[in-house]
A and B are shown apart, each in its own frame.
Chain A
């Protein structure tokens, strides 16, 4: 697993992929958080990082499938999957190695936003007047959301040999799992607690719950379960496609 992880990380940083992902993520977030007047913290009148946490899922919806689309589609297209699967590596070594590398790249993009925290902290009146607990919760939520998007993106990449199809399918899966259940639950057709149950199937309700600063086991189990399902599905698809 370590060999695969190191090789993937090396590929990201020896090509433009890593630098593009990090630059695009930070530029877009920076613009929305500090420059565009509609969403700028400077015009918000509250010392808060809400613009970052509400916008980041939308940017990650595009960026993460762009990172994960190559995971299996490219290996299969180039035939290098035969190299990997005839080496003494288990299928899960390969899948988890790739998962961790993709997730690490997203973390590299997220980490510099810690600077925003210190900026907003200093800009508060008095200094430090912001809800650090909620921000920590939001970051944890964002990490889990990223990990879930990575797992969904890799599932899409396992399904097809074509990287463009993998990207579009990955973005679609992330959109459905993050937002669609929330919209579906808001339709006035459900009886009893059905709408709450459907809402709970999507990422958004769990991400919002964590953003309030409360880390509930229920939310952690949800994210762990979602990632485990995607990785297992990935394994089943890859094995069946051999």
Chain B
């Protein structure tokens, strides 16, 4: 269980994290979503007490990260964004070092177990600098889960993995999330949809959404996106917008994006209007709005 209250961090005059509140519970995978520089990593660094906060509190499994930093750290498994590893060490040697720090009982068998779970079997006798980025990421993940922590904080855990590795690691994270509190950050939208139970969206240091993944999609369930491609640019946006049920329209390189109320199917009306005006449609696709869209909508509001 991780409870964050009023967490704030200033870098000079810039507010990197601005009064963020949220709770992450056991058995839940919490996704952190946000553009680069939004404050995701800074928040994670404060939860792991790597950097101190200027305001607010972080409580990990009943321990305040300021007052009981060591107690809270011993309950966290952390995979930092740049995955720092001692590259001159061998995989097993590095995991042995991490096990020593955490006083892991039966270290040798636990190391063998996490090597198996993270699929490092073939690479376990190699020095870390001889491993590919994907395997190094697995070593980072192995050291994070080695001491069987109650909380796992994973900063972009799947970066650098190929498609096959991605599926394995996602399954592993999903399994871990059944019992533990998992907080992961990512910029890949499909990952949030595939893995997370709840999503927190951070933009410019502020929390802009904190919802279960289903609810977040429901928020804009009322909208459909219809992409229409025309043969030429003779169409008029104002007339398309006047169709009953259309919320707004955007045009980009001969392609028109029509955001419409999901209650009525506007496609027949679009067709009839275009046929009457002689605008030749070469393609028309209707899709449900994705998390990516929600994310863009929530984070771009300020600039629109």
Contact = CB atoms under 8 A, between A and B. Distances in A.
Interface of A: 2-3, 6-7, 10-11, 14-15, 78-83, 85-90, 242
B165 interface: no
Contacts of A7: 86, 97, 100
Contact of A11 (B50, B80, B88): B88
Interface in B105-144: 143
Interface of B: 45, 48-52, 70-71, 73-74, 76, 78, 80, 82, 84-89, 93, 97-98, 100-102, 143
A14 B88 contact: yes
A88 B102 contact: yes
A153 B97 CA distance: 25
Nearest to A4: B101
A88 B15 CA distance: 28
A204 B80 CA distance: 46
A127 to B, nearest CB: 48
Contacts of B80: 79, 82-83, 86
Main secondary structure of the interface of A (DSSP, over half): helix
A123 B93 CA distance: 48
Contact of B70 (A10, A79, A88): A88
B74 A82 contact: no
A85 B88 contact: no
A85 B50 contact: yes
A189 to B, nearest CB: 45
Contact of B102 (A10, A79, A87): A87
Contacts of A15: 88
B52 A87 contact: no
A242 B50 contact: yes
A27 B101 CA distance: 37
A88 B97 contact: no
A86 B78 contact: yes
A5 to B, nearest CB: 10
